[in-house]
């Protein structure tokens, strides 16, 4: 670890919880430099929905590189981009009756969010954007201003402006519909909430602690934003690309956002790629008004195109729902071991378990790592154990990982039974 501890900035984070030096990976498994294998329930924070280095996509990538397919084109045209757009239209948008234009910003999620916010502000002529409690949209100043995490916000070094934070579904408890509050603020011109250009939302807040917005709440949010002429941006960077079962996470609610941001699993192989989908009537960009060097990262177009072939039928979707059932059942059981107050929540193959004692999630994660399973925590106090296995994981691997979690919880409960069952 010498190289890293001596030379890499103190900002490094995940490596502190999973202190191995990784060398190779395949499917649901990662291997470190000492040859030790780890089952992966983390998937690079949602980047590897199809597992590590899936062969079909790998072959497409190798073929492209070997024939000296062009690698980098900025936003000039390329065959690789053309095929991706055509395929995305054919496989994803048309079957769902969706019509969007494609903007390729810099190849990271935060850049997609910045582009979406700019466009919404331009189209509406307004400056204010509404985000939600415990949202996570990125680290650049525009995206950070709609991110809830106080520690990360403070890192800005400047006040974060032109945004307001409203309560996400469930923030005020199960009885309260938090959109009542938003609607009253909108309806009262004395509320001090300047009419927003946009609302940006994750249908399932992943970093925020696996908080799930209900179908009814999302539908009401779509209705309110439409009525007030507010652009609705769904940030599907972490829970799009099939994480919740359907390709887009908002499909279950039957809503159509005005703008959608995608990244993470979009390339299907861990290569950086981002996409902003824009309703045609909102595509009011002037040429070059937003740019970025790596907009034309062709190897990622190639892998993304290959990944889309997984969506030509509903096999993957059905597999996700089947595995969701396995996970939910087992987590419910684990919750009973951890104590009555532990709660399970999630959609599709993003599932979390929140313990009464917030520190337990971290202890379980550490115990799992010792047992060869990588699973991270989420939420403002890292109080939620977040399961994010690849969508293509084998059932046996899934069960193995769940066994490890159960074992870990059991061992911890045995060691310190009282502490775990009732929070401080």
Counting contacts by CB under 8 A, is residue 352 touching a second copy?
no
State the residue for tokens 């095929």. 83
> Which residue from 37, 95, 194, 322 is in contact with a second copy, where contact means CB under 8 A?
194
Counting contacts by CB under 8 A, is residue 416 touching a second copy?
no
Counting contacts by CB under 8 A, is residue 26 touching a second copy?
yes
| Reduced 3-state DSSP string for 239-279 | CCCCCCCCCCCCHHHCCCCCEEEECHHHCCCCCCCCEEEEC
Return d(Cα 42, Cα 21) in angstroms, integer: 16
Strand runs labelled E in 323-417: 343-347, 350-354, 373-374, 376-378, 384-387
Contact set for a second copy, span 274-293 (CB under 8 A): 276, 278, 283-293
Counting contacts by CB under 8 A, is residue 161 touching a second copy?
yes
| DSSP-derived pairing of the beta strands 275-278 and 211-212 | unpaired
Tokens of 6: 């001596």
| Residue whose CB is less far from a second copy, 306 or 409 | 306
Counting contacts by CB under 8 A, is residue 13 touching a second copy?
yes
Return d(Cα 117, Cα 129) in angstroms, integer: 8
- Cα dihedral across residues 101, 105, 110, 114: positive or negative: negative
| Residue whose CB is less far from a second copy, 273 or 413 | 273
- Contact region with a second copy (CB under 8 A), list: 164-172, 304-312, 322-330, 400-408: 164-172
| Residue whose CB is less far from a second copy, 145 or 391 | 145
> Which residue from 19, 229, 254, 417 is in contact with a second copy, where contact means CB under 8 A?
19
Counting contacts by CB under 8 A, is residue 332 touching a second copy?
no
Min separation Cβ 50 and a second copy, Å = 11
Return d(Cα 78, Cα 96) in angstroms, integer: 26
| Residue whose CB is less far from a second copy, 12 or 312 | 12
> Which residue from 171, 226, 252, 362 is in contact with a second copy, where contact means CB under 8 A?
171
Counting contacts by CB under 8 A, is residue 181 touching a second copy?
yes
Counting contacts by CB under 8 A, is residue 390 touching a second copy?
no
Counting contacts by CB under 8 A, is residue 359 touching a second copy?
no
State the residue for tokens 């359907």. 246
| Residue whose CB is less far from a second copy, 219 or 284 | 284
Q: Are 343 and 360 in contact (CB under 8 A)?
A: no
> Which residue from 72, 96, 312, 333 is in contact with a second copy, where contact means CB under 8 A?
72
Min separation Cβ 171 and a second copy, Å = 7
Angle at the Cα of 116 (from 244 to 91), degrees rounded to 5? 45
Counting contacts by CB under 8 A, is residue 135 touching a second copy?
yes
Counting contacts by CB under 8 A, is residue 396 touching a second copy?
no
Counting contacts by CB under 8 A, is residue 190 touching a second copy?
yes
Q: Are 268 and 391 in contact (CB under 8 A)?
A: no
H or E segment to which residue 312 belongs = none
| Residue whose CB is less far from a second copy, 106 or 346 | 106
Return d(Cα 273, Cα 106) in angstroms, integer: 8
Q: What end-to-end distance do the CA atoms of the chain give, in Å?
A: 36
Counting contacts by CB under 8 A, is residue 348 touching a second copy?
no
Sequence-distant (6+) residues with CB within 8 A of 214 are 169
Q: Are 238 and 207 in contact (CB under 8 A)?
A: yes
By rule CB under 8 A, what string of x and - marks binding of each residue 217-256 to a second copy? --------------------x-------------------
Counting contacts by CB under 8 A, is residue 188 touching a second copy?
yes
Tokens of 281: 């009537």
> Which residue from 62, 322, 325, 415 is in contact with a second copy, where contact means CB under 8 A?
62
Min separation Cβ 143 and a second copy, Å = 7
The DSSP 8-state label assigned to residue 297 in this structure reads B
Q: How many binding residues for a second copy (CB under 8 A)? A: 152
Contact set for a second copy, span 96-115 (CB under 8 A): 101-111, 114-115
Counting contacts by CB under 8 A, is residue 424 touching a second copy?
no
CA dist list (Å): 128 to 134, 160, 218, 346? 18, 11, 21, 30
Counting contacts by CB under 8 A, is residue 68 touching a second copy?
yes
- Contact region with a second copy (CB under 8 A), list: 143-151, 217-225, 324-332, 407-415: 143-151
Query: Burial level of 318, CB count in 10 A (0-12/13-18/19+)?
Result: exposed
Counting contacts by CB under 8 A, is residue 185 touching a second copy?
yes
Return d(Cα 163, Cα 78) in angstroms, integer: 37
HSE-CB for 386 with a 13 A CA cutoff: 27
> Which residue from 50, 60, 91, 132 is in contact with a second copy, where contact means CB under 8 A?
132
């Amino acid at each position: 670890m010498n190289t890293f501890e001596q030379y890499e900035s103190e900002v490094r984070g995940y490596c502190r919880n999973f202190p191995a030096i990784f060398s190779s990976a395949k499917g649901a498994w990662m291997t470190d430099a000492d040859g030790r294998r780890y089952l992966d329930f983390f998937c690079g924070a949602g980047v590897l929905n199809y597992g590590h280095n899936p062969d079909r996509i790998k072959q497409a990538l190798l073929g492209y590189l070997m024939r000296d397919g062009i690698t980098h084109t900025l936003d000039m045209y390329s065959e690789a981009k053309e095929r991706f757009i055509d395929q995305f239209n054919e496989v994803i948008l048309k079957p769902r009756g969706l019509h969007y234009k494609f903007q390729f910003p810099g190849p990271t999620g935060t850049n997609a969010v910045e582009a979406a916010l700019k466009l919404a502000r331009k189209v509406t002529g307004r400056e204010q954007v509404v985000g939600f409690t415990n949202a996570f949209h990125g680290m650049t100043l525009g995206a950070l201003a709609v991110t809830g995490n106080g520690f990360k916000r403070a890192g800005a070094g400047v006040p974060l402006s032109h945004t307001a934070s409203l309560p996400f579904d469930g923030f005020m408890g199960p009885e309260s519909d938090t959109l009542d509050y938003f609607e009253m603020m909108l309806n009262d011109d004395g509320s001090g909430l300047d009419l927003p250009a946009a609302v940006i939302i994750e249908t399932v807040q992943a970093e925020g602690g696996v908080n799930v917005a209900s179908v009814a709440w999302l539908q009401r949010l779509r209705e309110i934003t439409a009525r007030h002429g507010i652009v609705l941006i769904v940030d599907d960077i972490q829970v799009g690309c099939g994480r919740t079962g359907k390709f887009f996470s908002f499909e279950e609610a039957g809503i159509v956002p005005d703008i959608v941001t995608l990244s993470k699993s979009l390339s299907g192989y861990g290569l950086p790629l981002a996409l902003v989908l824009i309703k045609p009537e909102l595509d009011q960009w002037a040429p070059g008004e937003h740019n970025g060097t790596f907009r034309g990262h062709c190897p990622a177009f190639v892998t993304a195109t290959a990944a889309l072939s997984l969506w030509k039928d509903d096999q993957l979707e059905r597999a996700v729902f089947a595995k969701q059932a396995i996970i939910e059942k087992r987590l419910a059981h684990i919750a009973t071991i951890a104590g009555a107050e532990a709660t399970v929540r999630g959609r599709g193959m993003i599932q979390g378990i929140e313990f009464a004692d917030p520190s337990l999630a971290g202890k379980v994660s550490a115990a799992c790592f010792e047992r060869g399973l990588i699973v991270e925590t989420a939420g403002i106090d890292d109080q939620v154990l977040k399961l994010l296995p690849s969508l293509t994981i084998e059932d046996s691997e899934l069960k193995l990982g769940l066994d490890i979690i159960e074992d870990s919880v059991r061992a911890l409960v045995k060691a310190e039974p009282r502490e775990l069952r009732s929070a401080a």
